[in-house]
Structure formats: C-alpha cells, structure tokens
C-alpha cells in the first residue's frame, strides 16, 4: 500500500507539471535567461540555439532594458530582457499540448523604428500545414509603448511548435518589434445555461493575463484568427478589443471584462440560438476601467432587428450603469453585437485610445405571467 501511495504521489506530481505548461509562461518565456557572451556579437544572437529553450532564425537581437538605438530607448515590456526580430526572423519553441484542446497564446510586443509592423504567429505541427494568424501591432493603445496580444488555436497534435515571425521588409533589417513574456493557457469552452443563453457572458474565460503587466491583453479581429482566444465571442471589427482584469483595472463584475478601445472599429459579437416569435431580454453593464478614460461614452447593442444606445459619463475612476434591450426573435439564430459609438482618448496626454467597459452580459427569454 505504501508503495502504491508513493507511485500515486509521483504520478500526481508529474501530472501537475504537465498541466503547468498549459497555463503560464513558456520555459524562459520572458527571455531572462540569455545567450552566453560568446554567442553574442554586440546585441546580435549568434547560433540558432543560443537562447535557452528557444530556437531562432535570422537577424535576432537580445535586448537589455534601457538599451538605446540612436536617441531612442528600446522598451522592454517586462523584466530585464527581450528579443528583437529583424526582417524575416523568427523564434520558436516546442510545447506539449492536449490534443484537440483550445489554447490562447499571450505575448508582449513593443514597436521600434518601423511604423507599420505585423507579426505572423504560427502553431506548427510536424506533418501538416501550420495554423497561423497575422497580428497587426502598429496601433498602440497603451502609454508605455508596449502591448500584450492574444492568439487562439486548437491543438491538432500533442507536440507542436509555437512560432513568432516578423515578415517585415524594412530597409534596416534591425527595425523589428521586441518580443517578451510568451505564455500559454488551455481554454475551457463555456456552455450556455438556464441563467444565461450566451456563452461566456461574464468574460471570465479568456487569454492568460501576464501578472507583471498593467495594460491588459489585446484580442485581434476574428478575420485574422481562426479560433477566438475569447471563447464564445467573435471580435467582429477591424480593430482589436482589450481584455482586462480586476487586478489592474475596475470591472463591473467578477474578475474579467472587455474594453472597447477603438470606437465602432472595435466590436464583439455572438450568434445565439433563439425561438422565432419569442421575446428576450439582453442585459449588460457599461462602465469605465479606472484608467483615465474620461468623458461621455455610448455603447450600442444590437439584437435581431432592434438596437439600444446606453450612455455613460465617465470620470475615469470606475463605476458602471446597466443597459437593457428587449427584442423579439425573427430567426432561429440571432446575431448579438456590441460596439462603442465613438473614439475616446485617455486624459494623460499620451494620445492613447481607450473606451467603455462592457461586462456581465446576460440573455434570457421573457416569461409573461399567465392570465387568471
């Protein structure tokens, strides 16, 4: 019996170790372990395996916090080190996954000298075509020069490679983005319940938020991402939405919420099963994240053929109001969508875009009392 208990403890320990790989930083995901001095030529990495746990290809630099390029200080998103990807350069790491599982990859990035920058994020199996998405990073919504981004995918194999690639063609091959804090999270697809016909209406299930960052996670438009890292929801717009948490922001309910940071170009949507002719109530919270996003805001909600505008006057200190839209279903599948009516900027003179927070979205059928 004692031998069996020891084996059980060892099994549980190894099981926990496997699970830990699916929720948090990848091994050396923050690049704090760097190349040996002999594997650096200035800041340029020499050798494909010079950075522990990573494989690199092309012009890759190992950047220290505070390092300068001319008169410009390169912004390391978190910690003391990051990597910079030149034209056509990439970094990759092999990871163990749950086959068939849905994942969200979170990473931080900051622009350097190029204005129009994109990153190609791939999940590469060994035998088939890669699952990939192009993430634009030219629009920055934070005031410190860096952002975190999320990319969603479904694992086709138990072992695959995460690849972050700069497809840039700048005249200066070193004009590429800095990459830092690469993390992975196994997502659990939410279900509809009797208390809410929407999936993940409270946004509690979503990408990993890096604990040492204070700027949330941008979720790219759905057209650039086969699998949404925000389960149940589609980012149905040209611009991203921001996923925020109560550790760093004010949210109306629970631990997570969505900030609509780009006006009508920043929208989320969900298609839900409905019964034709039946009446439904869509309720939701509209507020601000306590992030110096001040002034009048309006969130527009659409369902079936109906719409409602919910105004909110933000003082940038947190708070929220409730919105409600009652509608009659005209189809067995109803498209529900939210967006901000106009652009808003933070009051700190940073020029950073921001917007209203939405949370606690619920959809229920209306039950009328029977006549006596």
Assigned domain for 337 exists: yes
Which range marks the domain in which residue 126 is found? 2-187
Count: domains in the chain: 2
Point out the least confidently predicted range of 3-7, 36-40, 105-109, 291-295: 3-7
* Cα distance between residue 312 and residue 318, in whole Å: 11
- Determine the 3-state secondary structure of 82 from DSSP: strand
Tell me, yes or no, whether 212 lies in a domain.
no
Same domain, 228 and 99: no
pLDDT exceeds cutoff 90 at 174: no
Sign of CA dihedral 343, 345, 351, 354: negative
Identify whether residues 183 and 258 lie together within a single domain.
no
In this prediction the pTM is: 0.89
What pLDDT digit, counting tens, does each position of 237-251 carry? 888 999 999 999 999
Q: Label residue 140 by pLDDT band (50, 70, 90).
A: low
pLDDT given for residue 114 in this prediction: 62
d(C-alpha 116, C-alpha 139), whole Å = 9
Q: Which of 70-84, 162-176, 234-248, 328-342 has the lowest mean pLDDT?
A: 162-176
Any domain includes 28: yes
- Map residue 3 onto helix, strand or coil: helix
N residues, the chain: 372
More confident: 79 or 369: 79
Is residue 148 a part of any domain in this protein? yes
Q: Which of 155, 167, 198, 158 is nearest to 338 (CA)?
A: 198
What residues contact 8, with CB distance under 8 A and at least 6 apart?
A: none
* Average pLDDT over the chain, rounded to an integer: 87
163 and 26 both lie in a single domain: yes
Instruction: State residue 12's pLDDT score.
Output: 38
Q: pLDDT tens for residues 179-196? A: 999 999 999 989 999 899
Instruction: Give the pLDDT of residue 369.
Output: 64
CA-based angle 176:180:290, to the nearest 5?
A: 105
Q: Are residues 230 and 180 in the same domain?
A: no
Q: Is residue 353 part of a domain?
A: yes
Let me know whether 178 and 222 are in one domain: no
Whether residue 247 sits in one domain with residue 121: no
**Dihedral sign, CA of 203, 205, 207, 209?**
positive
More confident residue, 84 or 10: 84
Answer whether residue 324 shows pLDDT above 60.
yes
Same domain, 50 and 131: yes
Helix (H) or strand (E) holding 345: strand 344-345
Phi, psi of 158 (to 5 degrees): -75, -20
Same domain for 225 and 100: no
Give tens-digit pLDDT for 7-48: 433 433 433 434 435 589 999 999 999 999 999 999 999 999
pLDDT of residue 129: 54
Residues 59, 17 share a domain: yes
- Examine residue 126 and state whether it is found in any structural domain, yes or no: yes
Co-location of 23 and 142 in the same domain: yes
Residue 181 and residue 225 in one domain: no
Residue 209, pLDDT above cutoff 60 = yes
Question: Has residue 194 been placed in a domain?
Answer: no
Is the pLDDT higher at 354 or at 2? 354
The domain that holds 134 is classified in CATH as 2.60.120.260
């Amino acid at each position: 019996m004692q031998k069996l208990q020891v084996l059980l403890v060892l099994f549980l320990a190894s099981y926990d170790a496997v699970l830990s790989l699916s929720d948090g930083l990848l091994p050396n995901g923050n690049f704090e372990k760097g190349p040996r001095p002999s594997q650096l030529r200035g800041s340029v990495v020499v050798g494909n395996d010079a950075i522990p746990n990573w494989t690199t290809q092309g012009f890759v630099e190992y950047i220290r916090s505070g390092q300068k390029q001319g008169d410009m200080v390169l912004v390391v998103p978190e910690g003391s080190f990051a990597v910079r990807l030149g034209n056509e350069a990439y970094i990759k790491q092999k990871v163990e996954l749950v086959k068939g599982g849905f994942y969200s990859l979170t990473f931080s990035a900051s622009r350097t000298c190029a204005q129009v920058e994109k990153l190609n994020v791939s999940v590469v199996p060994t035998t088939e075509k890669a699952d990939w998405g192009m993430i634009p990073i030219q629009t920055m919504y934070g005031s410190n020069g860096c952002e975190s981004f999320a990319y969603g995918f479904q694992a086709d194999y138990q072992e695959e490679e995460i690849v972050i690639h700069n497809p840039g063609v700048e005249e200066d091959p070193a004009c590429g983005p800095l990459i830092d804090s690469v993390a992975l999270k196994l997502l659990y697809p939410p279900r509809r319940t009797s208390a809410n016909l929407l999936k993940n209406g409270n946004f509690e299930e979503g990408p990993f938020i890096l604990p040492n960052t204070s700027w949330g996670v941008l979720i790219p438009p759905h057209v650039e991402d086969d699998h949404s890292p925000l389960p149940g929801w589609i980012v149905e717009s040209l611009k991203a939405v921001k996923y925020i948490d109560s550790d760093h922001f004010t949210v109306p309910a629970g631990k997570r919420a969505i900030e609509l940071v780009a006006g009508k170009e920043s929208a989320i949507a969900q298609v839900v099963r409905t019964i034709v002719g039946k009446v439904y109530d869509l309720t939701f919270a509209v507020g601000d994240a306590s992030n110096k996003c001040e002034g009048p805001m309006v969130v527009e909600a659409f369902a079936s053929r109906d719409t409602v505008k919910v105004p909110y006057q933000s003082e940038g200190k947190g708070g929220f109001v409730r919105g409600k839209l009652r509608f009659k279903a005209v189809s067995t599948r109803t498209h529900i969508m939210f967006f901000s009516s106009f652009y808003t900027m933070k009051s700190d003179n940073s020029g950073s875009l921001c917007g209203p927070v939405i949370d606690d979205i619920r959809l229920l059928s209306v039950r009328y009392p029977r006549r006596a």
